[in-house]
Structure 1
Amino acid sequence: MSQATLLVADDHPLFRAAIIGLLRERFAPFQTLEAASAATLGQALSEHPDVELVLLDLSMPGAHGFSALLHVRGEYPQVPVVVISSNDHPRVIRRAQQFGAAGFIPKSAAAEDMALAIQTVLDGGSWFPAMAAERSEADAALAARLAQLTPQQFRVLLCLADGLLNKQIAHELGLAENTVKVHVTAILKKLDCYSRTQAAVLVKGLEPEQGTTP
């Protein structure tokens, strides 16, 4: 592996350190970036266009389940994402794949398996554990609907899901309030939602199932 830039996004500093330690042990020299929230993940990607791989935990502040994955895939489609999660429910793995992840690594996986998965994705492949869950047409439809949104509209949608008013969204994203209103109107139209509440419920559908496989 040549000098690569890898981004580890997880809100637990000890786990970030463990992953970075694994990478240093198994791979050639590389640059590592870290993010502990959905906001810092977005900032890191915007400031470092040379990122070659994102290792992403689903449970981070500011993320609604798979929303961070969808955001990265929508705004940076050239950057592969490997989800690393303690929730290895079969449908969680399947949804990660359907929402654009290049791989899925359970946090309980052995170091050898983690290294193999990461190398496989860096080489242009994909890596997923064996899955019992079937492909969901509902998830495919949801991903297609969300893919219609621009990156800024997706950010506004997540703010809607947090229950923020237009004025609060404007302050949060550094936008004019009228601009937020335009975005909200476009979001509702694209998602075929009749209200902000319905759009928020749609985002809740991105939350993964709880629990793990036996």
Structure 2
Amino acid sequence: MNVFRQGAPEAPRIVIGDDHPLVQAALRSALAGAFPLATIEECHDIDKVVAAVRNAPEVVDLVLLDLNMPGSSGLAGLFLMLSYFPTIPVAILSAAEDTATIRRAMAGGASGYIPKSLALGEMVAAIRAILAGDLWAPRGCDTDPAIDEQDLTMARRFASLSPQQLRILAMIVQGRLNKQIAGELGVSEQTVKIHVSTIFRKLGVATRTQAAVLAGSAAGLSMAGRS
């Protein structure tokens, strides 16, 4: 896939990661009207998003990703996608609209940040701009000069985590114990312990609580609730 194309493709392949059926249906309808030749795949958890892109990474033009969905909280999903597929644009689609969250997402490598409060026509315009190779954020949130060094440092820390470590971090945020994480990932508990130690070192924290709090502050959210 050529991410430096001029102009939006006429037949884009778009993967939507969102566990809200009404959002999925409305966005699919709007995109089908704007891009009649588009291929749109809907996924309700982060594992399905990864699988959908992995099946044909060379033809996926854009991933639209909810901040909080099953298997992912806050910016963990964004970092996970970028670690697997660094050349595929990922835009955040979220109900959270505070400037800090938007700036942190853009600092973390998002190609755009689309609030769910936008009218469908505005969402389509934003998606069209991102498909054309532009970065897009809501009007009044000029991210370029406003990203501070602290946000960039935090983004770099999370970007240093491997895909498996990002998955484990997401489970730590959800309150899972090492034994539970090991069972879900199909690895030994000792392997999980090693990953957790590495996560702590890379993030500069000493406890699971500190890791969860840092992950929450990276998204500018409480990781437990908002999407």
**TM-score, shorter chain, exceeding 0.5:** yes
CA deviation map 1:84-108 (0-9, x unaligned): 2222222222222112111122222
C-alpha distance in 2, partners of 1:159/1:108? 29
1:140 aligns with 2:140: no
From 206, 214, 218, the equivalent of 1:194 is 206
Over 4 Å off, 4+ runs: none
From 94, 97, 112, the equivalent of 1:85 is 94
Amino-acid identity (%)? 40
3-state SS of 2:218 partner: coil
The aligned counterpart of 2:48 is 40
C-alpha distance in 2, partners of 1:201/1:109? 29
1:9 aligns with 2:11: no
> 1:1-214 to 2 correspondence within 5 Å?
1-49=9-57, 50-129=59-138, 130-131=140-141, 134-209=146-221
3-state SS of 1:158 partner: helix
**AA in 1 matched with 2:214:** L
| Preserved CA contact (<8 Å) 1:66 1:207 | yes
RMSD: 2.1
**AA in 1 matched with 2:189:** E
Q: TM-score, normalised by structure 2?
A: 0.83
C-alpha distance in 1, partners of 2:98/2:202? 31
State the shift of 1:54 in Å. Answer: 0.8
State the shift of 1:24 in Å. Answer: 0.8
CA deviation map 1:98-150 (0-9, x unaligned): 12111122222233322221111111111112217832322211111111111
| Preserved CA contact (<8 Å) 1:89 1:209 | no
C-alpha distance in 1, partners of 2:34/2:174? 40
C-alpha distance in 2, partners of 1:170/1:121? 38
Higher relative contact order (CA 8 A, sep 6+): 2
3-state SS of 1:34 partner: strand
Answer with 136-145 or 44-53: which moved more. 44-53
C-alpha distance in 1, partners of 2:221/2:168? 24
State the shift of 1:209 in Å. Answer: 4.5
State the shift of 1:5 in Å. Answer: 1.6
C-alpha distance in 2, partners of 1:46/1:185? 28
Q: TM-score, normalised by structure 1?
A: 0.87
C-alpha distance in 1, partners of 2:197/2:68? 29
Unaligned stretches of 5+ in structure 2? Answer: 1-8, 223-227
